[in-house]
Amino acid sequence: MKRRVIYISGTRADYGLMRHALRLIDGDERFDLTVAATGMHLMPEFGMTVDEIERDRLPVIRIPVVFEEDSRASMALFTGDCIRQMVPVFRRIRPDIILLLGDRPEMLAAAVAAAYMGIPSAHLHGGDVSSTVDEIARHAITKLASIHLPATARSAGRIQKMGEDPARIFPVGAPGLDEIVQAPEPDPLHLAAAYGVDPSRPPVLVLQHPVSGEEEDAARQMRETLEAVAGTGASVLVIYPNADAGGRRMIEVIREFSGVRGIHAVPSVPHADFLGLMRIAAVLVGNSSAGIIEAPSFHLPVVNIGSRQQGREAAENVIPAEYSRESITAAIQTALSDAGFRQRLAAVANPYGDGHTAERVIEVLASVPLDGTLLSKHLTY
């Protein structure tokens, strides 16, 4: 009998990371896959990215919950609304496993609903360290999950220290690296035409999200970054942030800068194009986890700003900076012209895996016993 798997997807980012794995699961006769799209996927101002899932011909349903306003209260309400909307979906499909990734509120909502409904959940990227409410949510999902699929040995160790049974922990690597291995070489002319960058010069990419607890400062933070990258004289592509509290304020600032001083902005980029842009970029600036997890595979320098990725395992391609144009400018200069850094960059290794995560995930999902012991969890100490 096929195992019914629901993958929860709330953003262009998580879907892009899981795209290769989801395609393999969908093509495996041992599984019956459903992608449940919600949140930012269903918001036109963020590109209505559910269309990308449908273009990939994966079986997708929509869970109609979105972020109503730019506040932390809205994030809490969104989480509660997701639980309410997910329960009837889970009742109807009767999944054997709920597949989750990371620390987003829709993932936490699904983990809560699954735990109370007696449905095992499998969690990718548990045990990672970041900061603020993201880390709190990630570790909460870990405690709610039945199966742990961490990206690194260090993250697996943290999960075990939380009292989780080692028999439930399967280090598999980061799924986002699989798409890098599978992706063809990008066409620079296509990327230039699609995103307004100069094909004769490697672009500066900017991807910066709001930080929980710093939403009142989000607009200033975005302005400091854009002033710094505008001063480089490079061709700059800015991708809109996520819909967390403060995100809309950042978008207002981005719109001020878009179209002037070499800056072009887009609400969303298909993941394959994003990988292509990272492959040809001069530097990635912002606070996205892509700079920590995927960028080392391209030997791409990253200026990582602020605290959002604080504590993450990072390779030597990452240069920290503060939210000031002076700090960001200095970090960009190091990334582009410091001989010692460039030498280390050429030899950088990615600590997050080898690009074969999907195969490991599939074997765990296919082989884990679906019996009462999977839902019966006890601290190991």
Res 197: pLDDT: 83
Domain count, the chain: 2
Q: Are residues 113 and 262 in the same domain?
A: no
Is residue 102 in some structural domain?
yes
Domain shared by 287 and 166, yes or no: no
Are the beta carbons of 288 and 312 closer than 8 angstroms? no
Same domain, 259 and 325: yes
Domain check: are 137 and 215 in the same one? no
Residue 380 within a domain: no
In one-letter notation, the amino acid at residue 303 is V
7 and 71, same domain (yes or no): yes
In terms of domains, do 192 and 329 share one? yes
Burial of 54 (0-12, 13-18, 19+ CB in 10 A): middle
Question: Are 47 and 162 contained in the same domain?
Answer: yes
- Encode pLDDT of 287-335 as tens digits: 999 999 999 999 999 999 999 999 899 999 999 999 999 999 999 999 9
Q: Which residues of 330-358 are buried (b: 16+ CB within 10 A; e: fewer)?
A: bbbebbbeeeebeeebeebebbbbebebb
CA angle 122, 145, 177 (to 5 degrees): 40
pLDDT band at 208 (very low <50, low <70, confident <90, very high): very high
Render pLDDT for 239-292 as a digit per residue (tens, 0 to 9): 999 999 999 999 999 999 999 889 999 999 999 999 999 999 999 999 999 999
Cβ-in-10-Å burial (0-12, 13-18, 19+) of 45 comes to: middle
Report the pLDDT value the prediction gives residue 200, as an integer from 0 to 100.
82
Is 298 a member of any domain?
Answer: yes
The two tokens of residue 275 are: 């990988």
Q: Please give the pLDDT value at position 55.
A: 96
Is there a domain that residue 246 lies in?
yes
Least trusted range by pLDDT, from 131-135, 313-317, 377-381: 131-135
Alpha-carbon distances, residue 235 vs 196, 225, 229, 335 (angstroms): 9, 14, 9, 16
Angstrom distances, CA of residue 85 to CA of 138, 186, 302, 326: 21, 39, 38, 46
Do 159 and 144 form a contact (C-beta atoms < 8 A)? no
Q: Which residue has the tokens 């990308």?
A: 52
* 97 found inside a domain: yes
Q: What is the CATH number of the domain that holds 153?
A: 3.40.50.2000
Q: Is residue 381 part of a domain?
A: no
Quick one: pLDDT at residue 231?
93
Do residues 158 and 11 both lie within one domain?
A: yes
- Same-domain pairing of 125 and 192: no
pLDDT at 163 over 80: yes
What beta strand segments (E) does the chain contain?
3-9, 31-37, 60-62, 97-101, 121-124, 147-149, 204-207, 236-239, 263-266, 283-286, 302-305, 318-321
Residue type, 65: V
Does the pLDDT of residue 158 top 90, yes or no?
Answer: yes
Q: Are residues 245 and 342 in the same domain?
A: yes
Q: Are residues 165 and 295 in the same domain?
A: no
What is the reported pLDDT for 198?
80
Strand 302-305 relative to strand 318-321, pairing? parallel
Range of the domain at 295: 184-346
Same domain, 151 and 26: yes
pTM of structure: 0.91
Question: First CA to last CA across the chain, in angstroms?
Answer: 36
